[in-house]
A and B are shown apart, each in its own frame.
Chain A
Amino acid sequence: MHPGATATDEDLVRAAREGARAAFQALVARHQQAVRSFLRRAGGGAADADDLAQETFIAAWSGLWRFDGRSSVRSWLCGIAWRKHLSQARSRARSRVREATDEGLAEAPATPDARLDVTAALMRLPEDQRAAVALCLGADFTHAEAAATLGLPLGTIKSHVQRGRAKLEALLGGGDG
């Protein structure tokens, strides 16, 4: 049995702030699946997502004092993961633009009628929409929780989830035929 199996997340955060290593390890064990799954769905491959998840937990450890208990620990961690993902995506976009400019190449547009596998279908959604769908439909976050995690208005999250779901179903349905 893991050391923090019966403690609440808030208890573990408190203990980790006081320097208890086992408490932070228990938080990692408890939330690694949610954070890694979210990052895999937000974009990039499993290896990239895992690297980012590792950075997320290191950032959480450094910033334990910032957790104010207003959101759940899961939501707080996914928020850190989302900001790290955005920052990585921005820096990759910059380097892609630089490479394209250097080599005179443009990114090939996605073929609209290409047969899509499930992951590729998810990647076809716009970034914010994908994250909202990943949290609300893939990880059972409430709309309010997802709004707090992604730093977006509640109405935007609701519309992202609704449109994202419809788009995904259409993409996957189209892929079968």
Chain B
Amino acid sequence: MADPRDPLAAVWAATEAPARDLAFELAVEEAIARRRLALDAVTLAAVVAVAGLIAWLAGPRLAVFAEALAAPFAQSGSLIVVSMVLAGLAVWWLQAPPEPER
């Protein structure tokens, strides 16, 4: 680029940045990492705020819905719990590795 025959070559030579500059590249990388972190924090805060707002607004309705959903199982609740515990034990017993033969 700096043609020695060019009378303006001295201007370009005096103002040319280095071809590689690790300090500059690292500074850019660090600034972008900071920006990314800030964006992630803002996004997370926004998601949490929206989720909290939804839960706060819809909470009473959801509670009514959950109660309505659970009503048919209320009578047989203890039976279901016992069945699930037994099923869990059966799965655990079936999946246990066999004892080594002596």
**A contact residues vs B (CB 8 Å cutoff):** 21, 24-25, 28-29, 32-33, 36-37, 40-41, 46, 49-50, 53-54, 57-58, 61-62, 117-119, 121-122, 137-140, 165, 168-169, 172-173
Contacts and interface: CB of A to CB of B under 8 A. Distances in A.
A165 B27 CA distance: 35
A177 to B, nearest CB: 14
Interface string B20-35: 1100110111011001
A36 B24 contact: yes
B15 A41 contact: yes
Contact of B19 (A33, A53, A62, A139): A33
A50 B7 contact: no
9 contacts: A29-B20, A32-B17, A32-B24, A36-B24, A46-B17, A54-B28, A57-B28, A138-B15, A169-B8
Given A24-B32, A33-B19, A53 B24 contact: yes
B72 interface: no
A121 B11 contact: yes
B18 interface: yes
Contact of B31 (A25, A37, A49, A54): A54
B29 A40 contact: no
Nearest to B14: A118
Nearest to A138: B12
Given A29-B25, A122-B15, A172 B10 contact: yes
A55 B31 CA distance: 9
B1 interface: yes
Q: Which 8 residue pairs across A and B have the least CB separation, nearest first?
A: A36-B17, A40-B15, A118-B11, A37-B17, A57-B28, A118-B14, A118-B10, A138-B12
Given A121-B11, A172-B11, A54 B27 contact: yes
Contact of B24 (A50, A58, A118, A165): A50
Contacts of B16: 33, 37, 40
A139 B82 CA distance: 80
Contacts of A122: 11, 15
A137 to B, nearest CB: 6
Given A25-B25, A36-B21, A119-B14, 6 more contacts: A40-B17, A50-B24, A54-B28, A58-B32, A138-B1, A138-B11
B89 to A, nearest CB: 46
Contacts of A54: 24, 27-28, 31
A57 B29 CA distance: 9
